[in-house]
Amino acid sequence: MTEDTVTAAFTAGWPVKQVAVRDITAVEAVRNTWWYGWGIRWIPNDGTMYNVSGLDAVRLEIEGSKPFRIGTDDPRGLVEAVRSAGRIPD
């Protein structure tokens, strides 16, 4: 993450998804269910997800787009970084 972009990518650097912090309207730590799996996933009624391992993720609500989840082993840290960069309220 930079001060203006959240980037989700796999080890090889592809595929990659970037979201401008200014377009994020809400952010929260979530726990995925086991059947969401790993990789790039479509989540019924909740957009897409990039996940390498584990069940912890951050859910971003994006202006003009469907929600996006990023799997992470530090969901609280990512939520705090996004909120701080985008001045998004708790």
* pTM of the model as a whole: 0.92
Name the residue ranges covered by the structural domains of the chain.
Answer: 5-86
- The rounded Cα 38 to chain-centroid distance in angstroms is 14
The per-residue pLDDT for 63 is 96
Which strand (E) or helix (H) includes residue 5?
Answer: strand 5-9
The per-residue pLDDT for 14 is 86
Bridge partner residues of 9 (DSSP):
16
Q: Is 27 exposed, middle or buried (0-12, 13-18, 19+ CB in 10 A)?
A: buried
Q: What is the pLDDT along the chain (90 residues), one digit of tens a residue?
A: 999 999 999 988 889 999 999 999 999 999 999 999 999 999 988 999 999 999 999 999 999 999 999 999 999 999 999 999 988 877
Question: How many whole angstroms separate alpha carbon 36 and alpha carbon 30?
Answer: 13
Residue type (1 letter), 3: E
